[in-house]
Copies of this chain bind each other. A is one copy, B any other.
Amino acid sequence: MQNKSIISPEIEEVLKLPNKDEEIRKLFLDLHPREIFTLCEDLKPQQNAQIVIALKSPLGIEFFQQFKTKRQRGIFRHFSKEWMADILEDMAPDERTDFIKTLSKEQTGQVLPLIAQAERNDIKKLLQYKEGTAGSILTTEYAFLSQDITASKALNQLRKQAFDRETIYYVYVIDNERKLLGFISLKDILISNGNKLIKDIMHLNIINAHIDDDKEQVAKKLADYDLLAIPIVDTENRLIGIVTVDDVVDIIEQEHTEDIYKHGAAGDYVDYMGSPPRLIAKHRIIWLLVLVAMGFVSGMVMEKYAYQLQAVVALTFFIPLLCGSGGNAGTQSSTVVIRGLATGEIQIRDVLKIFLKELSIGGIVGLAMGILAAFRALVLNKDPLLAITVGSAMIATVIVATTLGAVLPLLFKKMKLDPALMSGPFIASIVDIVSLLVYFRIAVLVFA
């Protein structure tokens, strides 16, 4: 990466030159498209459009593909109709499908007729697959062979295919109806005797996925099997396309975002910077109102103990501490169990073992927290009865919280519900109710 020294203002200067296309090519031609992106991502959409045009296909297209679809749309607006068509023709089919989905019907209607018939059919076919399925992320630019040719002839065919395929390292063997017969890697072909027939050296046991499979499952399969690509077939075992390893990380990162939103009860993911507050609020409000409704129960518990609260007002001072501590301890154990279920580290059948483990953990941390809270009541409030009440309520609350936090996600999983629904905020709301019940029961006993 020798060109790290190029900076945005320099590029902006170059873009003002009369021979800018030539100068831009000189600057960027040896760079990886990602490096060009790193240097240019902060430029204006119009300037990036100029760079795409200067770099031409394929480097310009590869550079364009580095942007997220929303920013691609901004750059795309600055192209002529002809350039729009050129770019759509040359983009990788999977990237292209993603991008076209973000265009308005009007824009698509203007540009599609300018594109070659074959590409147009490909676009239409890929657009019809449901969002979130393998079909929606596949590329049709895969390398393929027929089974009756020799290894050395296969090598020659792959040389020719190399220019417009996503990868030639994984090759799929198909018949005249595109039915998937076998799989072979370029390495297999290279190390084989050149006279051997493909059908005699190909693998018959093919790890594949179906067009309707969930894209996260497909990504996980590709990763588990350490593949560079996975073939996607329809119900008749016809090869529709492939999903390549470079898409896996994006899919996993997207899933990661969804997971984290669930942990924070933040609703479904929406484009944060690009959406109006009203839309974001709509996504968040459902969970908040559910949690408010759960909070009403806490109030009802307290109403039952109004007499005690009036008699010993200092009892009130510890309510936020107790509820908060229980919520935090429960959030910890639910976090660990929800994540463990997702990675496979924890199984439903471990429920008893987990319950006992959290019982011990809750005992240990609860004891420390209880002593600390009792100490505070003793020193600041100078009330031994209060200290006993607060300390023992804390221990009990924390033990209940850690075990509930661990067991509820397991229960949800068992009931085929999403265990992540039992994340921090929900556990905290349930624990609030339990904490108050425990606290007042103990208070009634101690102050009786």
In the assembled complex, which residues on chain B have CB atoms less than 8 Å from the CB atom of A325? 288, 291-292, 295
In the assembled complex, which residues on chain B have CB atoms less than 8 Å from the CB atom of A168? 187, 190
Q: How far is the CA of A317 from the CA of B432 in the complex (A)?
A: 12
Shortest beta-carbon distance, A315 to chain B, in Å? Answer: 9
Given contacts A159-B191, A319-B319, A320-B436, contact A372 B289 (CB under 8 A): yes
The answer to whether A335 touches B162, judged by C-beta atoms less than 8 angstroms apart, is no
Given contacts A32-B205, A158-B190, A361-B277, contact A257 B343 (CB under 8 A): yes
Shortest beta-carbon distance, A416 to chain B, in Å? Answer: 22
Chain A residues proximal to chain B, CB less than 8 Å: 1-3, 30-32, 34-35, 155, 158-159, 162-163, 168-169, 186-187, 190-191, 203-207, 223-226, 228, 245-246, 248-249, 252-253, 256-257, 259-261, 263-267, 271-273, 277-278, 280-281, 284-285, 287-289, 291-293, 295-296, 298-299, 302-303, 306, 309-310, 313-314, 316-321, 323-325, 327-329, 331-336, 338-340, 343, 345-346, 350, 353, 357-358, 360-361, 364-365, 368-369, 372-373, 376, 380, 398, 423-425, 428-429, 432, 436
In the assembled complex, which residues on chain B have CB atoms less than 8 Å from the CB atom of A340? 272-273
In the assembled complex, which residues on chain B have CB atoms less than 8 Å from the CB atom of A358? 277
Given contacts A299-B317, A323-B320, contact A350 B2 (CB under 8 A): no
The answer to whether B228 touches A245, judged by C-beta atoms less than 8 angstroms apart, is yes
Shortest beta-carbon distance, A85 to chain B, in Å? Answer: 25
> Which of B281, B292, B293 is the one whose CB lies under 8 Å from A361?
B281
A/B interface sample: 11 pairs, CB < 8 A: A32-B207, A256-B259, A260-B260, A263-B335, A266-B336, A280-B357, A284-B329, A296-B376, A309-B309, A316-B316, A324-B428
Copy tally for this chain in the complex stands at 2
Kindly name the residue among A191, A277, A293 whose own CB sees the greatest number of chain B CB atoms within 10 A.
Answer: A277
The answer to whether B291 touches A2, judged by C-beta atoms less than 8 angstroms apart, is no
In the assembled complex, which residues on chain B have CB atoms less than 8 Å from the CB atom of A298? 320-321, 324
Given A260-B338, A288-B368, output 9 extra A-B contacts at Cβ < 8 Å.
Answer: A35-B207, A264-B334, A281-B364, A285-B365, A288-B398, A289-B372, A291-B328, A303-B314, A316-B316
Q: A168: nearest residue on chain B (CB-CB)?
A: B187
The answer to whether B361 touches A280, judged by C-beta atoms less than 8 angstroms apart, is yes
The answer to whether B299 touches A320, judged by C-beta atoms less than 8 angstroms apart, is yes
Shortest beta-carbon distance, A433 to chain B, in Å? Answer: 8
The answer to whether B319 touches A316, judged by C-beta atoms less than 8 angstroms apart, is yes
> Which of B205, B302, B380 is the one whose CB lies under 8 Å from A316?
B302
Q: How far is the CA of A340 from the CA of B303 in the complex (A)?
A: 41
Q: A271: nearest residue on chain B (CB-CB)?
A: B345
In the assembled complex, which residues on chain B have CB atoms less than 8 Å from the CB atom of A316? 302, 309, 316, 319
